[in-house]
Every structure is written in C-alpha cells, then in structure tokens.
Amino acid sequence: MQISGKMVLVTGGTDGIGRQLALQLQAKGADVWITGRDAERLTRARGEGMQVITADLTGPEGIEAVLRGMGGRSLDILINNAGMGTEHDFRVGQPDMVGDERTLWLNVHAPIRLIVALMANLQTRPEAMIVNVTSGLAIAPSAGSPVYCASKAAMRSYTQSLRAQLKDTHIHVLEALPPLVDTAMTSGRGGRKLPPQECARQIIAAMESGADEANVGMVRILKALNQVAPWLVRRIMIGF
C-alpha cells in the first residue's frame, strides 16, 4: 500500500508503539489521526501536526467519541493499536477484576466495535487497510498475564477470520505481532526489549508490502519454531 496521502487513524497514538507509528506514517505523507486519554500528550501531538481525538477506549463511550471526532471523514487505514495489561496472577494475589474488564474492553471489544462502525467508511475507499496489533503472546501464552494473553489470542483469531471474509475486497487485513517492546506498559520488566521505533518501522514495512502478518523482531523466530514444535514454544513461553 502507498502510505502517502492516506488518512490513518491510530488508536493509542500518544505513546509507545502507537506514537512511533503515528510519527513514521506522518513522515511518509499520511494524514494522521490519533486517539488518546492524556491531555498533555494529545496537545504535543497536535503541535506536531496530527489530528487528535480524546477517547477512553476501555468502555463504549470511547467508541462514540472516536466517531464524533472523525465527523464522517473518509478513512483509508484503521490501526487498532491501543492496548493494556492487568495483574491476574493467583501466585501474587487476588486478580483485579476491574482491571480485567478494562483490559478485555480495550484489547478486544474496542477494536471489534471500531471495525464494525468504520467498515462502511473503509468500503468506500479504493484501497483500505485494517491493522490489528496483537502480540507474540497470541501465539503462545505466558503464565503471568493470562487475561492479556487471552485478549490478544482472541484478536488474532478475529483478525484471521476477518481477513478471510474480506479476501475478495479492496480492504487488506494485517496482523502485527510485536515482541517485548520498551514502552510504559513493560516498564519494570526485565528481558531484552525492542525499541518502539523499530517495532513501528517493521509494522509499516509490512503495511507497504501488503503482508498478512508483521512478525516483529523475535516473533519471527517464535512463529517459525511454533510451526515445527508448538509444544516447545508453549513450554518456553508459559514460564514468562
């Protein structure tokens, strides 16, 4: 896909992977719109020439805020990037059910609802794309974050089904599977982290090439290993 001249909506575009996607897409000539909750970060993005929509996508009100903010404008690319995790580990303590509900809403319900709400808009464009950002943990879960892993596995399944539904249309469906990326959400976690700039670069390269999946960084190895020894991948990943 040619990025220049396209209108792009990036959810969660004020920080981390989303911010880097927004900046790099803008540098390629896209008209970038982002959603976020932090007023200071949204102001910064507006000063950088982006269009901003204040929206909390952990509940249905956020979907309405996005639609109002767009005002019926034509959309070429929808990037469902916003995501969060929550503590859900009985070895540590009682899970946070409120956090679980917010995670499931943001990671699963919000992207699906945005796709449904914006599908008619995307269908009017000569070339369109939906990008769902999942995770390498959608391939094999870790023991420490079961709700997050379940939400990303759900979106991986949804994305594959959606791609099959739209295969004979002009709407391309891309799944982006990042590894552990150096963002606010992973602060305090050990291990080697991919810079968000590089993660965004690889996702955009997949968008431009028309790939079905962007297996980012170490996820390429994880995906390849899972094809020949899924039992080994599950054993390795469950320990994280």
Of the residues 53, 108, 111, 148, which is catalytic? 148
Q: State the SS3 of 99-147.
A: HHHHHHHHHHHHHHHHHHHHHHHHHCCCCEEEEEECCHHHCCCCCCCHH
158 annotated active-site: no
Q: Based on C-alpha coordinates, what's the Rg of the chain?
A: 17
Cβ neighbours around 177 below 10 Å, total = 24
CB 137 within 8 Å of CB 149: yes
- Which residues does 231 contact at the CB level (< 8 Å), separation at least 6? none
Q: Which two tokens stand for residue 240?
A: 């994280």
Among 179, 167, 208, smallest CA distance to 77 is for: 208
Q: Which sequence positions are flagged as catalytic?
A: 148
